[in-house]
Structure 1
Amino acid sequence: MSDEVQPGDVRIRLDLSYDGTDFSGWAKQAGGRRTVQGEVEDALRTVTRSGGTTYELTVAGRTDAGVHARGQVAHVDLPRQVWAEQGAKLLKRLAGRLPRDVRVWALREAPSGFNARFAAVWRRYVYRVTDNPGGVDPLLRGHVLWHDWPLDVAAMDAAAKSLIGEHDFAAYAKKREGATTIREILDFGVRRNADGVVEIEVRADAFCHNQVRAMVGALLFVGDGHRGVEWPREVLEARVRDSAVHVVRPHGLCLEEVGYPADELLAERSRVARNRRA
């Protein structure tokens, strides 16, 4: 995949959000499963009147089935003529064509060197859970996990802080052939909001498959007293998948924001991000 835009094309940045409940994740899949990428590409093909041409999207974070996004970023390369003639109308046309569980909020020409995936310097996720004895607010049931044990937020926060830094997260990741499990967590913390919902927020340069949900599972074990504060770090240092680490359900997780460097650093960031870490 090249960061060079083909002659005659223009790279467009899309900012979007979606409710992941009824999607089989972001990425298109065989078998006709409903995906965010598939819906947006279908809508884009329709509103640009491109006939049989599909303009493929590249995304910052390929969310799993059931995971939501509030601040997702993608890019697409469109023929310059299409953008010049239709760009001012595309946002409103997409709003009329897209299903109600996915919205594109902004479309703009991307700066030179921009790549939604490789130029990103961090992704910020929040996992929401409640330990309210009565359960989850019915209006939030698709976005908040119910944990039926009281949670010690201070203990969870301390355990989260112990995972900050660059480490091999093999113990918290579903291994993929040829992919590294080394990641750098920049911030990790736990707080309880005024409404009682516990927010587990983590920001990292990138994440392995299932990493966030596995780390949340470990923190919940700490919060309800089944494990000590030091346990998540011990699991990390073992560097092998621990059967005691439970991967929590996806509906509590939301991609909140993606960060990018200054425009003049985009190309270099993309180059660095492609290098496999060891």
Structure 2
Amino acid sequence: MRIALGLQYDGATFSGWQSQQHRNTVQDALERALALFATRPLKTVAAGRTDAGVHALGQVVHFDTEAQRPIFAWVRGVNAFLPASIAVQWAQHVPAEFHARFSAYERTYYYMLYSHPIRSPLLAGRAGWVYQAELDLTAMRAAACVLLGEHDFSAFRSSECQAKSPCKHLYALDIEARGHFIYFRFRANAFLHHMVRNIMGCLIEIGRHRQSVSWLQTVLEARERRQAAPTFMADGLYLAQIGYLPTFKVPLPDLTSQPWGELWASHS
């Protein structure tokens, strides 16, 4: 029996999703909770392997089990064994051919940026920060258009990236401002390791007028990581939603309680 779960988590205290020897990862915490609830070890597969400090609003995982439980028990029962920073949002029976990672046809990430001369300690770990009170959103949006479509994104790829190809299709890169907050939405068929954070670094350089809009086109075409800006902080990055075919009936994450729920409603 294959079961899929939807997860939300605060990644600030974790060393990313993927299990590691020191066992301070989201996967390790989830598998410990699953083992306690199901009274047997269970291995999970995630749609996106989020990095250290990266959060999730709509992470999807699957696992196979022979344990017989009511489907909603996989929500409340597993949550009883999880730390406060992780919560299962839904559980769903899925067919054997469903794969959390390989059945996904698109991913959406959000980035929340706080633009203010003074940092806010209440936003530490949850939003990126730049000390400029205002960034040039017009220039940033113009630069974002350069990246839309299918490209070789090697210039925005981490040296640790294990993807077989650097070519990805970026469907949307939306930028909206609300007061001192700037919200970014990245939607693509898939992302390279650190791709969103490296693009963020470049957009912020353009927003600060340290680089021109045309510079980003040069960086993209150069296909060399050293040509781009430094990797921006993980704090404000959220794995928001995974796209699957309707036949799998995977629930969508509830984003209505988040500030970006209203922002992107017209873009969905």
- TM-score category by the smaller chain? 0.7 to 0.9
Q: In 2 relative to 1, CA 146–40 (structure 1 residues): closer, same or farther, beyond 3 Å? A: same
Unaligned runs of 5+ in 1: 1-9, 267-278
Corresponding residue for 2:174? 189
Q: Contact 2:94–2:248 at 8 Å: present in 1 too?
A: no
Cα distance in 2 for partners of 1:208, 1:178 equals 7
Q: Contact 1:67–1:250 at 8 Å: present in 2 too?
A: yes
Corresponding residue for 1:118? 102
* CA-to-aligned-CA distance 1:67-121 (integer Å, 9 cap, x gap): 0001111101111xx13x4544232111211000000011110135211101111
Q: Contact 2:163–2:192 at 8 Å: present in 1 too?
A: no
What is the one-letter code of the residue matched to 1:122? E
Output aligned runs, 1:18-57, within 5 Å: 18-30=9-21, 32-50=22-40, 54-57=41-44
Cα distance in 1 for partners of 2:85, 2:162 equals 33
- Of all paired residues, the percent bearing the same amino acid is 36
Cα distance in 2 for partners of 1:242, 1:142 equals 27
Secondary structure in 2 aligned to 1:230?
A: helix
Task: Tell me, yes or no, if structure 1 residue 148 matches structure 2 residue 131.
Answer: yes
Cα distance in 2 for partners of 1:185, 1:219 equals 15
Task: Tell me, yes or no, if structure 1 residue 241 matches structure 2 residue 257.
Answer: no
Cα distance in 2 for partners of 1:263, 1:43 equals 29
Question: How far did 1:148 drift?
Answer: 1.4
Question: Which of 77, 81, 101 is matched with 2:64 structurally?
Answer: 77
Secondary structure in 1 aligned to 2:212?
A: coil
* CA-to-aligned-CA distance 1:140-190 (integer Å, 9 cap, x gap): 222112111231112111111110111111111014467211111010121
TM-score by length of 2: 0.87
Secondary structure in 2 aligned to 1:116?
A: coil
Cα distance in 1 for partners of 2:75, 2:241 equals 20
* CA-to-aligned-CA distance 1:53-74 (integer Å, 9 cap, x gap): x211111100000000011111
TM-score by length of 1: 0.84
Q: Contact 2:6–2:88 at 8 Å: present in 1 too?
A: yes
Cα distance in 2 for partners of 1:19, 1:88 equals 22
Q: In 2 relative to 1, CA 95–178 (structure 1 residues): closer, same or farther, beyond 3 Å? A: closer
Cα distance in 2 for partners of 1:260, 1:76 equals 17
What is the one-letter code of the residue matched to 2:2? R
Question: Which of 167, 180, 197 is matched with 2:165 structurally?
Answer: 180
Cα distance in 1 for partners of 2:78, 2:163 equals 37
What is the one-letter code of the residue matched to 1:123? R
Q: Say how many residue pairs are matched.
A: 248
Question: How far did 1:191 drift?
Answer: 1.3
Q: Contact 1:173–1:214 at 8 Å: present in 2 too?
A: yes
Unaligned runs of 5+ in 2: 251-268
* CA-to-aligned-CA distance 1:217-254 (integer Å, 9 cap, x gap): 00000001000112112101111112541101111111
Q: Contact 1:129–1:146 at 8 Å: present in 2 too?
A: yes
Q: How large is the RMSD of aligned CA atoms in angstroms?
A: 1.9
What is the one-letter code of the residue matched to 2:126? H
Q: In 2 relative to 1, CA 177–196 (structure 1 residues): closer, same or farther, beyond 3 Å? A: closer
What is the one-letter code of the residue matched to 2:130? H
Q: Which has the larger radius of gyration?
A: 1
Q: Contact 1:123–1:257 at 8 Å: present in 2 too?
A: yes
Cα distance in 1 for partners of 2:154, 2:123 equals 32
Q: Contact 1:128–1:253 at 8 Å: present in 2 too?
A: yes
Secondary structure in 1 aligned to 2:75?
A: helix
